[in-house]
Structure 1
Amino acid sequence: MPYLLNSICTISGVFYKYAKRHGDSSILTKREMKRLILEDLLKIYHGFLLFQNPRDRKTVELTFQMLDTNGDGLVDFNEYLLLILKVAEACYSHLKPS
């Protein structure tokens, strides 16, 4: 499988891994989003200092509010991609040659 396609499949797979926990694999609840952050993004958060303390309840709440663009109290796949984009931007800025 081409490298980029594999990466896209991984991004999708991570979403579904957490979204399916409550039964609806098309959305993430706040609890699922917190789990995703702590289990899959914690090292990235610390490595690139995207947030001061990703374990802090307020940090998770602010992240969730930022992603929940339609205000329905859930994060759908398109909203999740906003987080992935921000993480990718931080990684790119940190890793690009000077």
Structure 2
Amino acid sequence: MSQLEGAMAAMIKVFHNYSGKEGDKYTLSNGELKDLIKNELGNFLGDPKDQAAVEKIMKMLDENKDGHVDFNEYVVLIAAITTACNEFFKDQKKK
């Protein structure tokens, strides 16, 4: 498996490690999203102790307004964070 294929497989696996603990196995509930952010994205997003911040992220991601984050909506989060990190490191490299 290539490095990129491994990254894609890891992204899929992480989603499914958290989805379904509180209901639908194909979506993330508010609590599941909070756990995923805390455990998997803590270095980039910090510890999501502020429930209001998690709810704000959830509302931004939940495009179809069903109260859950599906895989496609999750991919948007990962892409946005990846883009932001890339921009940060590009700016740091210029300095």
TM-score by length of 1: 0.86
Q: Which residue of 1 aligns with 2:45?
A: 45
Q: Which residue of 2 aligns with 1:90?
A: 84
TM-score by length of 2: 0.88
Q: Which residue of 1 aligns with 2:72?
A: 78
5 Å matches for 1:1-98?
1-46=1-46, 54-96=48-90, 97-98=93-94
Unaligned runs of 5+ in 1: 47-52
Spell out structure 1 runs of 4+ moving beyond 3 A.
Answer: none
Q: Which moved more, 1:62-71 or 1:13-22?
A: 13-22
- In structure 2, C-alpha distance between the alignment counterparts of 1:30 and 1:14, rounded to whole Å: 16
Alignment deviations for residues 42-91 of structure 1 (CA, whole Å, 9 cap, x no partner)? 11114xxxxxx732111101000000000000110000111101110111
Q: Which moved more, 1:17-26 or 1:61-70?
A: 17-26
> How many residues end up aligned between the 2 structures?
92
Q: 1:95 aligns to what SS in structure 2?
A: helix
Instruction: Compute the displacement of 1:29 (Å).
Output: 0.6
Instruction: Compute the displacement of 1:20 (Å).
Output: 2.9
Percent identity over the alignment? 37
Q: CA RMSD in A?
A: 1.4
Q: Which moved more, 1:69-78 or 1:20-29?
A: 20-29
Unaligned runs of 5+ in 2: none
